[in-house]
Structure 1
Amino acid sequence: MNRLDRLGLAVMQPELDRHAEWLMHGARDIELQDLCESVELMDGEWSALARRQVALLQHHRGRIGVHAPFWNMHLDALDPQIRRVVQGRYLLGLDFTEAVGGQWLVVHSPFYFWGHLMVQHRRTLSQEIGLAQLTLEPVLARAAELGVTIVIENILDRDPAPLLALVASFGSPHVRVSVDTGHAHVGAQHGGLSAQGWLTQTAPLLGHVHVQDNDGSADEHLAPGEGTVHWPGVLRALRATTTDPALVLEVVPEHVDAAVRWIQALPAPTVIPEPTL
């Protein structure tokens, strides 16, 4: 059973500066997201930022991950030239992950229209999986060398079946599913599974969770309790996981303080004493 003791934050540098002490004191999971939000950083002094973050977190004993660039990145790109660009950006993400001593790299699901009546993937799923495998081939080889896990996050997916099929197709411990509770909640308003349902159905291959809230109408990245996600069910599903996924609250900067308060207010785990012989 997962006690949620590692539940931490996805942050960029300003929020990391503010909350580093709290994160380190609890040995909590940290996801560094500067690289995926700044094109200038990708082609600039990203290594200087990585060194700064390593110095700041030198006493951190928890897990660290990185979010790969995602703007205009298509995991199942058909055009070989576009595929090479995507590979290059993901490999850059791994370079950053290596520099900060990270354990996971987040990339986005290619199934942007799964569940829409116009695109059901009935004839194209195997082709899309094949293209995603081509894209990730050099990336996965590098990740395996580094001991890093590629986690593929649900974005507009409504049904976890294609994403599970994609992850399973690699047959590798270095590829796992990432579930974003907010994305799932928006999809649930249009016939998809709830966040709890996503966590339950992906449990055997679950490697990472983005915890966030919204009212179901948009992907707002609010702190839990500020939207309409059913948190008792989500927390039950998280505690039931057996794969020890990375757990981070991914909220907009102005809601990070509220997210920290929510984590701090979670009930302490019940410790069952060992029987006396």
Structure 2
Amino acid sequence: MNDLTRLGLAVRQPELERHLDWLVQGSRDIELQDLCESVELLEGDWPVVARRQAALLSAHRGRVGVHAPFWNMQLDALDPQVRRVVQGRYRQGLDFAQEVGGQWLVIHSPFSFWGHPVAQHRRTLPQEIGLAQLTLEPVLARAAELGITVVIENILDRDPAPLMALVAAFESPHVRLSVDTGHAHVGAQQGGLSAQGWLSQTQALLGHVHLQDNDGSADEHLAPGEGTLHWPGVLRSLRQTTTDPYLVVEVMPHQVAQAVRWIDALPPPGAG
């Protein structure tokens, strides 16, 4: 059972500074997202930012992770040159994580759906998994050296089965599945599984969760309770997890304060 007391935030530098005391006092999970949100930082002096954030987190005793660059990053790239670019950006994410004492690195699922959620990828899945393994082979070797877990997040996925098969294929404790509740909620309006269903079906492989809300029509990254996602069911599924996943609310910057209020309003462990 999970009491959700580690539930924290995905933040960039301004939100980290604004909510640092709250995060530190609660030893809450923190996911640093400057590297994935700023293209300029990728080609700039990112080590300075990483060291600045490491200094801010010097008193933090909770868990820390980093979101890897994701724009144009195709995990199962067929083109070897594209694959090398993806590998380089993921290694950059690991380097950032090393600077801040990170324990996880978020990357995105390669699966998109153009057909029925159950039938899509059925014939091509072995090839797609093989290509993803080629991409991640050197990345995982580095992650293992650093003690970092790579978590693969549902993005356009509708059916958990392909992503579960991909994660399981690595047979590695350094690869786990990530569920984004908002992505699942949008997918559910298009024939996919609900967020609660994703959490239940993936539980054995679950290593990380992004909590966010929307109205089912777009990936809005609203604070929980601001959309139409059924949070009592999601929270019930989260409390039943046995793998101790990293837990962060991932919302737009203007929604972070509302997310903190929502977390603070959650019933304490054992209540009710």
* Same-fold status (TM-score > 0.5): yes
Which residue in 2 is equivalent to 1:275?
Answer: none
- Greater shift after overlay, 91-100 or 106-115? 106-115
1:223 matches 2:223: yes
**Aligned residues of 1:115 and 1:159 also touching (Cα < 8 A):** no
Which residue in 2 is equivalent to 1:146?
Answer: 146
Aligned partner of residue 209 in structure 1, secondary structure: strand
User: 1:178-217 CA deviation, whole Å, 9 max, x = no partner?
Assistant: 0000000000001111000000000000000000000000
Separation in 2, partners of 1:42, 1:114 = 31
How do 1:101-140 and structure 2 match up within 5 A? 101-113=101-113, 115-116=115-116, 120-140=120-140
User: 1:210-233 CA deviation, whole Å, 9 max, x = no partner?
Assistant: 000000000000000000000000
Separation in 1, partners of 2:114, 2:70 = 18
AA matched with 2:124: T
Which residue in 1 is equivalent to 2:269?
Answer: 269
Separation in 2, partners of 1:261, 1:197 = 26
1:187 matches 2:198: no
The alignment's C-alpha RMSD in Å is 1.1
How far has the Cα of 1:113 moved from its partner? 1.9
Which residue in 1 is equivalent to 2:163?
Answer: 163
Which residue in 2 is equivalent to 1:16?
Answer: 16
Separation in 2, partners of 1:38, 1:224 = 25
How far has the Cα of 1:114 moved from its partner? 6.2
Off by >3 Å, runs of 4+ in structure 1: 114-117
Which residue in 2 is equivalent to 1:274?
Answer: none
How far has the Cα of 1:63 moved from its partner? 0.2
Aligned partner of residue 31 in structure 1, secondary structure: strand
How far has the Cα of 1:105 moved from its partner? 0.1
How far has the Cα of 1:43 moved from its partner? 1.3
Separation in 2, partners of 1:190, 1:124 = 21
Separation in 2, partners of 1:34, 1:113 = 29
AA matched with 1:195: A
TM-score by length of 2: 0.98
How far has the Cα of 1:122 moved from its partner? 2.0
TM-score by length of 1: 0.96
**Aligned residues of 1:8 and 1:247 also touching (Cα < 8 A):** yes
How far has the Cα of 1:80 moved from its partner? 0.1
Which residue in 2 is equivalent to 1:96?
Answer: 96
Separation in 2, partners of 1:65, 1:264 = 22
Which residue in 1 is equivalent to 2:260?
Answer: 260
**Aligned residues of 1:24 and 1:60 also touching (Cα < 8 A):** yes
**Aligned residues of 1:114 and 1:121 also touching (Cα < 8 A):** no
User: 1:129-151 CA deviation, whole Å, 9 max, x = no partner?
Assistant: 00000000000000000000000
AA matched with 1:225: G
Separation in 2, partners of 1:41, 1:258 = 27
Separation in 2, partners of 1:265, 1:115 = 40
Separation in 2, partners of 1:165, 1:191 = 20
Aligned partner of residue 17 in structure 1, secondary structure: helix
1:238 matches 2:271: no
Structure 2 unaligned residues grouped into runs of 5+: none
Structure 1 unaligned residues grouped into runs of 5+: 272-277
Distance change (3 Å), C-alpha of 1:107 and 1:115: farther
